[in-house]
Amino acid sequence: MWPSGRLFGLQVSPLLTAGFGVAWECPSYAEDGYARETEIELRSKLEVPGIVCLPKHTGPHACAVFLAGSGPCDRDSSIGSLKPFKDLALGLAQGGIVSVRFDKVTLRHGQKFRNRSSLTIADEYFDQANAAIEYASQYPEIDSDRIFLLGHSLGATIAPYLAQVDNRIRGIVLLAPPGEAVYKAYVRQLRYFASLDSDLVESTQELIADAEKKSDAADRLGPDSTTAPRDLPFSLPACYWNSCRELDPIGTCKAMDKPILLLQGSRDYQVTVEDNFTAWKSQLRSKQDVALGVLEDLDHCFIRGEGLSIPADYDKAGNVDATAVDTITEWIMSTSGGPHSGA
């Protein structure tokens, strides 16, 4: 979950607040003229706008379709001063890779999802993701045999399922994929915030207790549960949490015969090495065509920093680290058989 000035109703200290920050700055690895960005409209049940980012020279090129994390994310996955998906798109273009990114339907059509008792994770992701894949498969400058999914955070739990059921997907890149339910990560983050600011310890106890109670309720859900949304995490209905559980991203990856790149930042407090990466590694490390790596000193947005990572970091100028961009570029090129020839 992205933190904000109000963390699900909790007023937090300035230390923890991620607000508007300073203006985004173009990364140093994105040379002028080496990327072409074009606005697009993805046609699905609910249309959303997006961007196709192309290398300087005409293709056909390999392509990465981006899947954003939780919440109503825009096409750049903007948070505070940061635009990690824009950084990645520009960086991949330098290496000769096209990308397609788009606003989430919950951002563009949020009013249609309010108070929906039948909401599922499919409603949040599938239609627009499939529209983006279809767009990429038909685009003249994209090699339809070299389409990859790149999912970040919650989006990384969606990518395995989509890749498993869609033969057009060559492989998947998972950035900071959760190895636990989102609501469990929320409880852990609340405890982490309290540990950073002694003034929050007392004020968060009731919130933590409530989050734990709702987390336990979500764990006990059955297929025909009648538990009210107000008694579940973030007031989302039982069918939403059941649909998340059914995805089983780790199990899907174990059964999948497509290549996987999984990257984790060592400074990430939202999806941690200890609580998440180790779960993925224990299940996938012996599987062929899987590359796993922890990138030192990088946070949840894969931006370099020092010390403990806090939400206020997102208000500082920064870009996705070149190490992450290069690792993804080289893996896609080597996996798809394409040359790493630059844009």
102 and 49 both lie in a single domain? yes
228 and 331 both lie in a single domain? no
- For residue 99, being part of any structural domain is answered with yes
d(CA 207, CA 214): 11
d(CA 154, CA 271): 10
125 and 226 both lie in a single domain? no
* CA–CA–CA angle 278, 279, 281 (5° rounding): 60
**Domain count of the chain?**
2
Alpha-carbon dihedral of residues 32, 89, 27, 103, nearest 10 degrees? 110
Please, are residues 333 and 340 in contact by the beta-carbon 8 Å criterion? yes
The pLDDT value recorded for residue 114 is 75
In the listed set 207, 239, 271, which residue is the last one of a domain according to the structure? 239
Please, are residues 297 and 63 in contact by the beta-carbon 8 Å criterion? no
pTM of this structure: 0.91
* DSSP states of 144-197: EEEEEEEEETHHHHHHHHHHHH-TTEEEEEEES--SS-HHHHHHHHHHHHHHH-
Domain housing 229: 181-239
- For residue 5, being part of any structural domain is answered with no
The pLDDT value recorded for residue 115 is 67
Per-residue pLDDT of the chain (343 residues; tens, 9 = 90+): 433 333 333 333 344 444 556 789 999 999 777 889 999 999 988 999 999 999 998 889 999 999 999 989 999 999 988 999 999 999 999 999 999 999 999 998 877 777 678 899 999 999 999 999 999 999 999 999 999 999 999 999 999 999 999 999 999 999 999 999 999 999 999 999 888 877 777 778 889 999 999 999 999 999 888 899 999 999 999 999 999 999 999 999 999 999 999 999 999 999 999 999 999 999 998 899 999 999 999 999 999 999 999 888 988 999 999 999 999 999 999 998 765 444 4
Neighbours of 103 (CB within 10 A): 20
d(CA 298, CA 327): 13
In the listed set 199, 222, 239, which residue is the last one of a domain according to the structure? 239
The pLDDT value recorded for residue 202 is 77
Which helix H or strand E contains 61, and what residues bound it? strand 61-67
Local structure of residue 76 (DSSP, 8 states): T
- For residue 76, being part of any structural domain is answered with yes
159 and 277 both lie in a single domain? yes
In the listed set 189, 218, 239, which residue is the last one of a domain according to the structure? 239
Half-sphere exposure of 270 (CA within 13 A, CB side): 23
45 and 132 both lie in a single domain? yes
